[in-house]
Structure 1
Amino acid sequence: MLALCCGCAGPGGGDEGRAPGAPTGVTAEAGSATSVHVMWNALSGVSAYEVYRGTTKVGDVPGSAHMLDVTRLAPSTAYVFTVRARDDEGRLGPRSREVRATTPAAVAADRSAPTPPGRATGRAAGSRAVQLSWTAATDDRKVVSYDIFQGEVKIHSVGGGQTATVVTGLRPGTRYSFTVRARDAADNLSPAGPAVRLSTAPGDDEGRDTAPADFRATTHRADGAYYIDLAWVPPRVDGVVTEYQIQLDGQAVTSLVWGGTPPRDRATHSFYVGREAGAGHRVRLRARLPDGTWGAFTAERVVTTEDDPEDTGGR
């Protein structure tokens, strides 16, 4: 497992005044040889978002949305995207972290659309999210991406090698109808597969079924320093979770990325928090879901670094 420190300031650390923070959860996925689908987590109090390809602004998105299809791109080309939020008074926040996507090669004279994806299934993941899965479509060349529709509106997109996703940002206690369509490199779009109808749970749990389960936090001392020890069960989603984000005292401090086989049952991690005894800390955790979006945070745990006469000496 490789642990990467993200820094306590976070991507919005340089924000001044009341400008919005930097959007989080930004992802980019090639939709065809000439388009990339960019998504991010919605922020409150935002009137619009600006999407950039490198230093060039390529789109304005209303604050009620959190996705954009960037079109008129070149095939077989790598691109870098960022997103900025703007509030009602026109204040523009800092850029998000950079995300990269590479368009596939163009396919000459391809006018044949993929077959419709097979039967979709799903389940509610709390009150604000659902999990969807479907049978792969086929194409005479290659399926590059899948578009997910809520009614007649496209709300999400994933890569052609993926047949499951989590749709977030839904309303509690609401019935939805979803369909999936396949797209190839020439931008041919398949007919919709069979619709799946799902209802979100009542209440407002912020999609808690996408959060790691049985989350625990304790402390220990080693060589005169204190560490927080975490343990959790990965969220039950379609696919494997390979990355987690730890938030300490309200700030994102560490990302954990498994380089080998990620744990499917119980995961653990320990990290340094200083040498002060009696210091209280708040800690919580969330997972990056297989489709690249962030799931819900666990409940916050409070721990205190206590004096320990039996220093573990590097346990």
Structure 2
Amino acid sequence: MNDRISVVVLTHNRLPEVTRTVSHLLSLPEAPPVIVADNGSTDGTATALRERFPDVQVIECGANLGAAGRNRAAKLARTDYIAFSDDDTEWQPGALDEAVRILDSAPRVAVISGRVLVGESRELDPTCARMRASPLDRAGLPGPALVGYMAGACVFRAAVFRKVGGYEPRLFIGGEEALVALDVLDAGHAIVYCDAVVTVHRPSAARDAPLRRRMLARNAALVAWLRLPRGEALTASLRALAALRAGERNFLRHAAALLRDIGWAMRRRRAVGAAVMRMCEQVRQAELAAFGRREALQRLRSARRYTLRASDKRQ
């Protein structure tokens, strides 16, 4: 049993998934306190969880607050550390003990982003592969240094999570962790990736892909206006508009909403310091170089396939 860490689970209208996840969490050897934030579900989630798992704290948010529902649950945690889980992710045995050990031994680290294995095949999430290859200086840290993390697969120092204010309700969900990550780094803390802190993601079929794409593009623009240089904010805004035009029938309505949200962000703008921007730029340049090499290899393979097909035709 480990009384140093709690698990917060976020859910909305996915009773089968959250039931499976909570059942798994309660079976862990660490026996962590589990707190579920129910984001206004209409499928009886809160009642069902209380009946089946009387030791689990269930907080009813009253409406779908998006990522900010995690803030409500985190307020109830009485442990030093909080592991966040979505209703389709499951921390593996020993992962939470390892997270506690790392955070106890590395006071500079505020967030651990864990290794995410996807589906029954347990393939490594591509985002984790990029985190492993982080170009940032990791001197004195227990893992690769990061400028971001995965919201449904991370462990926080509870005090830092509360200090930065948790998740911004206006961002709802979709890339919402970017703002928190920038604030954590700007406060002088570190974010690291750790292979030994493992969770399994079983992607739910109950997903609205078009909505998620729209939210990701919109939130990238808002985070840029809130924390990044104006040039980057303008670029992110143009990308968001392009994404809306490409994927939305109601482009004008969504574009008008985006512009209103940008106005809101500009009024609350507080750019991060130069040190954080240097870290972000270093990661961006490394990823551009990696994608450039990948694209070159893809072109080379395509050229080889074309040459082979042409050779076959000549024979």
- Give the TM interval when normalised to the shorter protein: under 0.3
Normalised to the residue count of structure 1, the TM-score between the two structures is 0.25
Q: Which has the higher strand share?
A: 1
Bigger fraction of residues in helix: 2
Normalised to the residue count of structure 2, the TM-score between the two structures is 0.25
